[in-house]
Structure 1
Amino acid sequence: MNWEDDTMRITVLTVPDCPNGPVVQERITAALSGRAAEVELVEVTGPAEAERSGMTGSPTILIDGADPFGIVGAAPSVSCRIYRHADGKADGAPSVDELREALTSAGLPGSADDDCCAVDALDLVGRDGRGRLAPDTGGLRAVHQAVLRHFADTGSAPEAAVLEPVANAAGRTAPEVLAELAREDFLTLGPDGRIRAAYPFSAVPTRHRVTIAGGVQVWSMCAIDALGIPAMLGRDVVITSVDPVTGESVTVTSENGQTVWEPAAATVFVGRRGGCSGPAAEVCCDTLNFFTSSASARTWISRHPDVNGQIVDRSRAEEIGRRTFGPLLTSG
């Protein structure tokens, strides 16, 4: 292959059928965030070839021929390679953030999309750092939590009358509190004043269906919202969604703190359309979707030039969901 002198070269060395090969390629794609680089997958079939190529376990990542995650004295190997994150957790590939740091250290210029709409996937969901936890004043948090619990228990939005006792305890009416929650984008209301969404839940059908342990089914506003539900409720769930490009199903099963994604190559795109402000339901919820593969996600991105964002791998998507929605019902 002829490489351009000014183009970064990323080589992924794996043994045939390495289960972490596709994982690391997806994370590299997410870390690149649209930046130009030549990415090549090379299969290594024996110890001699591992020594020639610089492979110290599968997968090994070389950036312009150097291993940014290399350990001094590590021997050539065709065995599975284990990476340790900063928290000590073992993984079969570096995280997206670790890859992003390695690419930057190797001289890759910053993404052209590093603006207020795409600086951090968590901020895209978490209201630019403000989070989804309503203030504990004026009955806002109490009413908000009552709304979320009603969705989780029934699969539907509560009527204002159901919320009156909670709002009255703060010296307010339910419509007053709901209107303020809507102004601050903790939920959305229809023209009739009824709740249409309370992130992560939707009162109207979406492409993301969540079955909560016990049988209750709810709609979620987006892929990240769906992934945040088990963390928020502390319950097992099964998420069923549809890739907007291929029409194929994506299923995420969360059980006993472990998740299984089907297909295994599934990923999530986190983005925002248009300007950098406005209710999440209008500017980003319909762009946060599950995809059966990074290739499918890239196809969707190419068809929506008005959307800024990034592909995130499964662990990062779960982390964003957990950090965004996990505290909503545990904080008094």
Structure 2
Amino acid sequence: MRITVLAVPDCPNAPVVRERLRAVLGGRDVPVNAVEVSGEAEAARWGMAGSPTVLLDGADPFAPVGDARPSVSCRLYRHADGTTDGAPSVAELRRALMEAGLPEVAGQECCEADVLDLLGRAGRGRRAPAERGLRAVHQAVLRHFATTGTAPGPAALDPVAAAVGRTARDVLAELAAGDFLTLDERGWIGAAYPFSATPTPHRVRIEGGGPQVWAMCAIDALGMPAMLGQGVVISSTDPVTGEPVTVTTTGDGSVWEPAGAVVFVGRRACSGPAASVCCDALNFFTGAASAQSWEGEHPDVRGEIVDQVRAEEIGRQIFGPLLAEST
């Protein structure tokens, strides 16, 4: 089977759909070909009805009925419950693959995919929309954290919001409603993923003279190098043994200490923002045995253990695009 993901450059939902496909395939040797489409003519040639589009052996299983015109605009997928997001759900992809002749994907558990949906705002990505000043203010918040190690107050963001005729408090409230950040009862920023305004178990020192910051979870910490384009030193603690776990990233790669360290990627069954549902369930462990012990002690958390390469890849996919130039 040929699986192709068509997307315009920098489409925030292209990594999401690839991640969901990866979860459905579960390690099976089925290549997923990513194709960047840059114009209407190319979209017509490929049969792309918006970005991203998934093709199975050249056919679009989610093609809109009666209106499959080529398009390079953002594509919305409507689910059975009436909600929409920027990528087919894991269940929809599994069903499409089965119908296309890949029945072995049936019945696969997707705990990790569920967590990634939450981390990535149900497929919509963590990069705020450009409309209504959301992205400009969001990026200003992230850059303030990265340069000072602290959250900016609303007054510091007012000039950015004023450029689109809004106040910072209004924009921050909208960003909080979309789970791009969290606000306390005063309207001050408590977290702007991947950063926390208060200490957490995951301390990150930004290289090149940068400050020390706090990450909301292990995946958030691992996403900082890609987001900032700088090396970092992550210092965390195994919540079972109390032993330190350190990750040092540079342009040449990363070094984990201890060498057998892993990350547990999990979430609770309740609903809510990522800060309350999964951030404290994504931790570094000195090894798989320790992670399994923690999982056994937390029956309310569903998830799985991922290795170092996979953990870094998840962080990179979620947080890498956040400070990219607006388009």
* Cα distance change of structure 1 residues 308 and 319 upon mapping to structure 2, 3 Å threshold: same
1:238 maps to 233
2:303 maps to 309
Q: Deviations over 1:138-164 (max 9, x none)?
A: 000000000000000000000111000
Count the aligned residue pairs: 231
The amino acid of 1:170's aligned partner reads V
Q: Is the contact between residue 124 and residue 270 of structure 1 (CA under 8 Å) also seen in structure 2?
A: no
1:210 maps to 204
Q: Deviations over 1:39-82 (max 9, x none)?
A: xxxxxxxxxxxxxxxxxxxxxxxxxxxxx99xxxxxxxxxxxxx
1:122 Cα deviation from its structure 2 partner:
3.1
Partner Cα separation in structure 2 for residue 227 and residue 158 of structure 1: 23
Q: TM-score, normalised to structure 1's length?
A: 0.65
Partner Cα separation in structure 2 for residue 236 and residue 219 of structure 1: 15
1:262 maps to 257
Asked whether 1:193 is paired with 2:187, we answer yes
* Cα distance change of structure 1 residues 129 and 108 upon mapping to structure 2, 3 Å threshold: closer
Partner Cα separation in structure 1 for residue 256 and residue 290 of structure 2: 16
Q: Which deviates more, 212-221 or 143-152? A: 212-221
Asked whether 1:182 is paired with 2:179, we answer no
1:156 maps to 150
Partner Cα separation in structure 2 for residue 156 and residue 320 of structure 1: 25
1:128 Cα deviation from its structure 2 partner:
2.3
Asked whether 1:297 is paired with 2:288, we answer no
1:120 Cα deviation from its structure 2 partner:
4.9
The amino acid of 1:188's aligned partner reads T
Asked whether 1:219 is paired with 2:210, we answer no
Larger Rg: 1
Percent identity reads 66
Runs of at least 4 residues off by over 4 Å: 107-111
The amino acid of 1:167's aligned partner reads A
Partner Cα separation in structure 1 for residue 322 and residue 230 of structure 2: 14
The amino acid of 1:308's aligned partner reads R
Aligned with residue 138 of structure 2, among 135, 138, 144? 144
Aligned with 1:290: secondary structure? strand
1:278 Cα deviation from its structure 2 partner:
1.1
Aligned with residue 249 of structure 1, among 235, 238, 244? 244
* Cα distance change of structure 1 residues 328 and 313 upon mapping to structure 2, 3 Å threshold: same
Partner Cα separation in structure 2 for residue 108 and residue 325 of structure 1: 28
1:331 Cα deviation from its structure 2 partner:
3.5
Q: Which has the higher contact order (CA 8 A, sep 6+)?
A: 1
Aligned with 1:259: secondary structure? strand
Q: Is the contact between residue 121 and residue 310 of structure 1 (CA under 8 Å) also seen in structure 2?
A: no
Partner Cα separation in structure 1 for residue 132 and residue 272 of structure 2: 23
Aligned with 1:230: secondary structure? helix
**Unpaired stretches in structure 2, ≥5 consecutive residues:** 1-21, 23-27, 34-101
The amino acid of 2:178's aligned partner reads E
The amino acid of 2:122's aligned partner reads D
Q: Is the contact between residue 232 and residue 326 of structure 1 (CA under 8 Å) also seen in structure 2?
A: yes
Asked whether 1:287 is paired with 2:293, we answer no
Partner Cα separation in structure 2 for residue 246 and residue 187 of structure 1: 31
The amino acid of 1:262's aligned partner reads E
Partner Cα separation in structure 2 for residue 157 and residue 316 of structure 1: 29
Partner Cα separation in structure 2 for residue 153 and residue 286 of structure 1: 25
Q: Is the contact between residue 242 and residue 291 of structure 1 (CA under 8 Å) also seen in structure 2?
A: yes
Q: TM-score, normalised to structure 2's length?
A: 0.66
